[in-house]
């Protein structure tokens, strides 16, 4: 599958929890990897789990990687896929009235850009954001100083500099509001679930983003996952969640169509709503 966009043909992969064919709400998922690593296969298992445990369709986006192509092509492609799905997603069995954006690390960054782009363009309507341990623009923070030297999951200081230089060509690009997202006004963005990781150089990016959302009145839920590292979604267990409310019930936040995610940390399993992050 592919989406034809003004920025080239972008490969996508569609995951449906059940092969019943009726129109489903869809989470557009952008993978992490510092803008220069990752593809549809590296995050295949994460997308399968999100679709299976949520009841939503998941559409993974295989955007063009740096350094061969640099900013702003990657956010342009993600936003163009959002527009494509809003306009033509019905042909793929998707409910184009309910589109959410989600991603991990660099993918969370790109999805937040797409939400900002949609607001600026007056559409498409995005019903929610699921942002896992993203990078949003902090240049220095306590978490970077605590963990940036330790090379935790490819996020040492040298790694971060390599990702930055591969993705952006100039200092002006690095300070552009579509790259340094904390320069953007967050007012009017859709509700968001923000996942931060305790032992992550990027932890404080998520904490600051939550403060920005709070200041501008954006509904959001911040969850800090203890005992895990950046990239821990790749460690989610394979087995189906066994919980009476995880597939058919209503979570604590009252949503009838939550994004259920099963996560393992602190030596125990939890099934949580990807919007409110509470135990089901």
Question: Any idea what the CATH number is for the domain that residue 194 is in?
Answer: 3.40.50.1820
Distance in angstroms (rounded) separating the CA atoms of residues 160 and 174? 13
254 within a domain of the structure (yes/no): no
Can you give the three-state secondary structure of the chain, one letter per residue?
Answer: CEEEECCEEEEEEEECCCCCCCCEEEEEEECCCCCCCCCCCCCHHHHHHHHHHHCCEEEEECCCCCCCCCCCHHHHHHHHHHHHHHHHHHHHCEEEEEEEEEEECHHHHHHHHHHHHHHHHCCCCCCEEEEECCCCCCCCCHHHHHHCCCCCCCCCHHHHHHHHHHHCCCHHHHCCCCCCHHHCCCCCCCCEEEEEEEECCCHHHHHHHHHHHHHCCCCEEEEEEEEEECCHHHHCCCCCCCCCCCCCCCCCCCCCCCCEEEEEECCEEEEEECCCCCEC
Distance in angstroms (rounded) separating the CA atoms of residues 212 and 188? 12
| Catalytic residue (one of 105, 143, 184, 246) | 105
State yes or no: pLDDT of 269 exceeds 80.
no
260 within a domain of the structure (yes/no): no
pLDDT digits (tens, 9 = 90+) for 110-160: 999 999 999 999 999 999 999 999 999 998 999 988 888 776 667 878 888
Distance in angstroms (rounded) separating the CA atoms of residues 36 and 164? 10
pLDDT digits (tens, 9 = 90+) for 158-188: 888 999 999 999 999 999 999 999 999 999 9
253 within a domain of the structure (yes/no): no
232 within a domain of the structure (yes/no): yes
Q: Decide if 200 is catalytic.
A: yes
pTM, to two decimals: 0.85
79 within a domain of the structure (yes/no): yes
30 within a domain of the structure (yes/no): yes
Task: Please give the tally of structural domains in the chain.
Answer: 1
| Catalytic residue (one of 117, 220, 230, 246) | 230
Can you give the three-state secondary structure of 214-240, one letter per residue?
Answer: HHCCCCEEEEEEEEEECCHHHHCCCCC
Cis peptide before 47 (omega within 30 of 0): no
pLDDT > 70 in the chain, percent = 83
Q: Decide if 104 is catalytic.
A: no
pLDDT > 90 in the chain, percent = 73
230 within a domain of the structure (yes/no): yes
Q: Which domain holds residue 45?
A: 2-243
Q: Decide if 234 is catalytic.
A: no
| Catalytic residue (one of 200, 204, 205, 257) | 200
205 within a domain of the structure (yes/no): yes
pLDDT digits (tens, 9 = 90+) for 73-112: 999 999 999 999 999 999 999 999 999 999 999 999 999 9
Whether the CB-CB separation of 42 and 114 falls below 8 Å is answered with no
> Which of 35-39, 51-55, 62-66, 220-224 is predicted with the least confidence, judged by mean pLDDT?
51-55
């Amino acid at each position: 599958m592919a989406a034809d966009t003004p920025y080239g043909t972008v490969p996508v992969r569609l995951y449906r929890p059940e092969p019943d064919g009726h129109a489903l709400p869809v989470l557009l998922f952008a993978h992490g990897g510092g803008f220069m690593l990752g593809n549809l296969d590296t995050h295949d298992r994460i997308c399968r789990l999100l679709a299976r445990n949520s009841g939503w369709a998941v559409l993974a986006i295989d955007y063009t990687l740096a350094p061969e192509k640099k900013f702003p092509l990657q956010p342009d492609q993600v936003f163009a896929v959002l527009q494509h799905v809003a306009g033509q997603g019905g042909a793929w069995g998707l409910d184009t009235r309910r589109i959410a954006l989600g991603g991990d690390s660099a993918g969370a960054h790109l999805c937040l850009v797409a939400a900002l782009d949609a607001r600026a363009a007056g559409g498409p309507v995005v019903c929610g954001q699921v942002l896992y341990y993203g990078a949003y623009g902090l240049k220095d923070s306590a978490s970077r100083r605590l963990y940036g030297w330790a090379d935790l999951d490819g996020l040492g200081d040298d790694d971060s500099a390599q990702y930055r230089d591969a993705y952006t060509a100039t200092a002006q690009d690095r300070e552009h509001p579509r790259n340094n997202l904390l320069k953007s006004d967050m007012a009017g963005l859709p509700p968001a679930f923000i996942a931060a990781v305790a032992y992550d150089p990027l932890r404080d990016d998520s904490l600051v983003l939550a403060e920005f959302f709070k200041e501008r009145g954006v509904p959001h839920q911040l969850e800090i996952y203890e005992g895990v590292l950046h990239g821990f979604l790749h460690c989610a267990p394979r087995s189906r969640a066994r919980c009476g409310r995880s597939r058919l019930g209503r979570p604590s936040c009252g949503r009838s169509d939550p994004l259920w995610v099963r996560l393992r940390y602190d030596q125990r399993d939890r099934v949580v709503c990807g919007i409110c992050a509470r135990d089901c």
